[in-house]
Structure 1
């Protein structure tokens, strides 16, 4: 019946026997199916992840082109300052992303704020870095009101884990080398808009001294009529 109803372009097995003959390969460790757009892969893209955590160290770029965060001055400066951390290529450089939104705003007379906090590793190569499989939702903070300056209260467990990974590290097994090592991690930067930047960093993003780059050397001024601060000439 399904064969008769389905469009001709959909290949549905005609009977149970043909359905049993249709085989889909899978990773021996159960990481993924070789299915749809990845059916032609010859290696599991997830089993390769442990060795790919060293990609930033093994694929250094000597040109002036910026193709990955590891080519940037901030990454290189960090390596120069924290030599012990940089000496282990598998130590993780993390980014943190957070912003608030109001779900179902049209369906509720009392909408509430929801803040996902996502952490992602930047050790990975270009085709894997900043992709959905490597976005880790560390916490989801709901509430009736905007978090404003209280987000640090809810981030305490995450902050404790980050401090542990930075100060002490954790014993980790590297499946690609079949060896144990002490894994450390560093939070390299955050990704957010300016208001969320103030909430996450504690920097005041209102008033004449709101620019974290200019600080006391700011050229900000207050508008005569609106009495609001303007940073038009900053940077």
Structure 2
């Protein structure tokens, strides 16, 4: 993965081009897509046009899917884990191969009628899915960026200490959380995290049966 990213970083967008590499050109275009809210279809049409306009043998991807493959190594991983319908347990580790819940007996998958026979039930999509975003790679990325790493120590080095409450670090509870962990508190870059969760309807429609239950981690080190 690193070798592919390095190769795209070093490869000129087209022969003789000194301003853009395959990686930087794709990244700039994808940034425009994100800022302007272009659809995948719009972006593909733009890439196809630009590829025709550029000199022959250019290395610009011609589809949104190909552009995402180039940028994929720069992203942060996520995992989709199937969940028992009644939230008994996750289909992972020792339970990864199970298709029926050993506790409540419900199927791992939604059932649907086979279109060819019209009678036989076949496995459909998973009944419930957990999107897991591993936190360690995200913490590493945060500490790898100079400005963000500096902000992580703001509560110790940049905060104005007076009688006013502007940040969780100004509260007595902040000092209380470090009791018994002197070594951890001594390093200002160590993260203090709050856990928050609540149900939500992402579509804002009360008649919709779809709902999400995000679990959020809030980093208290950062300035307000």
Q: Which has the higher strand share?
A: 1
TM range (shorter): 0.3 to 0.5
Instruction: Identify which of structures 1 and 2 has the higher relative contact order when contacts are C-alpha pairs closer than 8 Å and 6+ apart.
Output: 1
Q: TM-score, normalised by structure 1?
A: 0.31
Q: Which has the higher helix share?
A: 2
